[in-house]
């Protein structure tokens, strides 16, 4: 759609919106933001169209249009049903960052929600903006500074575009979107939130670490925060299969392995009927039990396939120093190991990212990656630019921010235990505290929820539908820290279908324990339990890794 022509001169509008913006921002700083009753429900068309005349630093506003209530077709052709009337503003931050802001006219809840991206991004996430708008949020999304139509990923070779994708795009989008929102509604948002998964989870952690003042509450799902090492994990298995293709595990092989793991470990939490593990850390299955005996070729795995499975479970390791680089995949996640099949589709990511950003060679051969010297190159030239993995979140804590992180144990793209490693490092790096007291302090602003059977951001065999945004909002606005979140498993993961089961998700290091009496399909039959045994092991392992890193430095 094209924007209508503005009705007021640009100079007059710039003066007016500048005064309005400063006034609204001063109200926010003073804690005197107007109430919802003061919202101008007639903000409407004229002011929306005139947003193209708004003066925003280093930003060109390319469209401002009032979208009527009802169905809306986005720029990619997707239809979003039953949206409220909203003002759509499209803008571009120099040199290449495109973003959109959608602002409800009469239904604004006085809150702003930034939404994250996936993979290499390159597109605005209308599919995340539409449900946010329907709930009353003003919302924004960005393409992170490049277009997904660049199939060669040449943008990675551009330092400015790599920096935008790796660190600054969400911050720039957020600052500009809030300026536009404040000018349009003549007041700043009372609260600002961010929610994203995968790359969006990495973006979320980048906000908490590098730009702690941008958001009051952050939700990070399946955070690809250690992105450089996630790419190494892809190569870890891909290289093995390239050398030993007979070790590939097709869907039937993975199901055989998954069934064996569930049969051996599934009843340890009291719910043997679950098609997932409640806590994979308690499973220690020996894959060699599935190895084919002489004369047997069905219902078993070959010796090469057994070694592939063992390789996937094993942590990615620097072959020179022995340093732990990235955790292995959890027991119970085997059915999701598409990366262990013969076709190596995921290698396009490290091939492009490492080839262009580390080796300056778009034709770089991923099979040549060296597990000592090349690891050092990646950690020198790329990791600092794209990996928000520092464990010091004190600035976000001090400004009153709240953070919820979620992670599925059966994630098919990244290890389920990485967030636990990061969380325990956050505890261990807090000064002057015992681990238990550090845990109490950290849980005042940051809580991690592990999802039994959960997939990547969503999906998986376990209950995977829950509302973390409402939980973080209650934490920020009412001081109600989330003691649990109830997750639902719908048939075929479609909310219009019947409920298969519900289950409480508990903040680490708690887990959900079955009470032994009620229906195993209902959350009310489970209680929160402190898992101090596994917690102590997690902390001890992270201490060892931190000490090893200090010695190597």
Q: Would you state the structure tokens that stand for residue 185, as one six-digit string?
A: 């509604």
- Please state, in angstroms and rounded to a whole number, the distance separating the CA atoms of residues 343 and 407: 26
Closest alpha carbon to 145 in 85, 84, 97: 97
CA 423 to chain centre: 15
Q: Quick check: helix, strand or coil at residue 168?
A: helix
Rounded to whole angstroms, the Cα distance separating 379 from 135 reads: 41
CA nearest 230: which of 339, 356, 343?
339
Would you call 392 helix, strand, or coil by DSSP? Answer: coil
Q: 229 near 325, Cβ under 8 Å?
A: yes
Neighbours of 96 (CB within 10 A): 17
Q: So which residues are the catalytic ones?
A: 198, 411, 456
Task: Report residue 406 as tokens.
Answer: 């979620």
What is the rounded (10 degree) CA torsion for 9, 14, 17, 19? -120
Q: What is the DSSP string of 430-499?
A: STT--HHHHHHHHTTTEEEEEETTB-SSS-BSS--B--HHHHHHHHHHH----S-EEEEEEGGG-TTS-E
Residues 6+ apart with CB under 8 A from 418: 223, 225, 226, 326, 327, 407
Q: Tell me which DSSP letter residue 101 carries.
A: E
By CB neighbour count within 10 A (0-12 exposed, 13-18 middle, 19+ buried), where does 151 fall? Answer: exposed
Give the 3-state secondary structure of residue 528.
strand
The DSSP H or E segment spanning 194 is strand 191-197
Residues 226 and 422: their CA atoms lie apart, in Å, by: 10
Find, among 242, 237, 90, the residue nearest to 177 by Cα: 90
Encoded tokens for 478:
């009412």
Q: Give the C-alpha separation, 276 to 512, whole Å.
A: 14
C-alpha pair distances (Å), 401 with each of 91, 144, 345, 444: 28, 24, 38, 10
430 CB neighbour count, 10 Å cutoff: 19
H-type helices in 433-467, by residue range?
435-442
Tokens at residue 61, please?
A: 């506003």
Neighbouring residues of 501: CB distance < 8 A, sequence distance ≥ 6:
463, 488, 489, 520, 521, 522
């Amino acid at each position: 759609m094209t924007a209508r022509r503005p009705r007021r001169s640009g100079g007059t509008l710039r003066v007016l919106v500048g005064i309005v913006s400063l006034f609204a921002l001063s109200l926010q700083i003073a804690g005197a933001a107007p109430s919802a009753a003061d919202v101008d429900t007639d903000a409407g068309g004229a002011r929306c169209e005139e947003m193209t005349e708004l003066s925003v630093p280093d930003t060109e506003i390319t469209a401002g249009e009032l979208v009527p209530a009802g169905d809306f077709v986005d720029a990619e052709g997707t239809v979003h049903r039953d949206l409220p009337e909203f003002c759509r503003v499209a803008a571009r931050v120099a040199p290449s960052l495109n973003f959109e802001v959608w602002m409800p006219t009469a239904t604004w809840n006085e809150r702003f929600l930034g939404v994250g991206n996936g993979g290499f991004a390159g597109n605005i996430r209308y599919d995340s903006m539409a449900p946010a708008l329907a709930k009353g949020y003003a919302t924004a999304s960005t393409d992170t500074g490049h277009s997904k139509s660049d199939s060669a990923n040449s943008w990675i070779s551009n330092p400015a575009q790599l920096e935008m994708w790796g660190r600054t795009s969400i911050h720039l989008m957020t600052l500009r979107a809030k300026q536009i929102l404040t000018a349009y509604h003549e007041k700043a948002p009372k609260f600002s939130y961010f929610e994203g998964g995968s790359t969006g989870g990495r973006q979320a952690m980048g906000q908490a670490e590098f730009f702690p003042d941008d958001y009051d509450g952050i939700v990070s799902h399946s955070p690809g925060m250690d992105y450089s090492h996630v790419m190494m994990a892809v190569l870890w298995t891909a290289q093995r299969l390239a050398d030993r293709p007979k070790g590939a595990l097709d869907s039937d092989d993975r199901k055989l392995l998954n069934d064996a793991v569930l049969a051996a470990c599934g009843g340890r939490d009291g719910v043997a009927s679950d098609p997932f593990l409640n806590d994979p850390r308690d499973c220690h299955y020996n894959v060699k039990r599935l190895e084919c005996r002489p004369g047997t070729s069905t219902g078993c795995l070959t010796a090469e396939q057994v070694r592939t499975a063992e390789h996937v479970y094993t942590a990615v390791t620097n072959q020179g120093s022995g340093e732990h680089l990235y955790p292995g995949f959890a027991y119970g996640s085997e059915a999701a190991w598409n990366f262990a099949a013969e076709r190596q589709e995921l290698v396009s990511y490290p091939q492009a990212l490492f080839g262009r950003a580390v080796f300056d060679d778009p034709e770089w051969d991923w099979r040549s990656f060296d597990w000592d010297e090349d690891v050092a190159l990646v950690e020198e030239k790329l990791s600092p630019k794209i990996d928000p993995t520092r464990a010091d979140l004190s600035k976000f804590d001090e400004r009153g921010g709240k953070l919820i992180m979620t992670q599925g144990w059966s994630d098919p793209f990244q290890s389920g235990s990485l967030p636990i490693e990061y969380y325990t490092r956050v505890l261990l790096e807090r000064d002057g505290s015992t681990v238990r007291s550090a845990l109490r302090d950290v849980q005042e602003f940051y809580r991690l929820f592990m999802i039994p059977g959960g997939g990547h951001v969503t999906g998986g065999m376990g209950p995977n539908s829950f509302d973390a945004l409402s939980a973080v909002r209650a934490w920020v606005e009412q001081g109600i820290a989330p003691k649990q979140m109830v997750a639902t498993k719908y048939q075929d993961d479609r909310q219009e279908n019947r409920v298969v089961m519900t289950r409480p998700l508990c903040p680490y290091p708690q887990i959900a324990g079955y009470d032994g009496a009620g229906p195993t399909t209902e959350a009310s039959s489970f209680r929160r339990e402190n898992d101090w045994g596994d917690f102590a092991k997690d902390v001890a392992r992270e201490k060892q890794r931190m000490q090893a890193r200090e010695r190597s430095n």
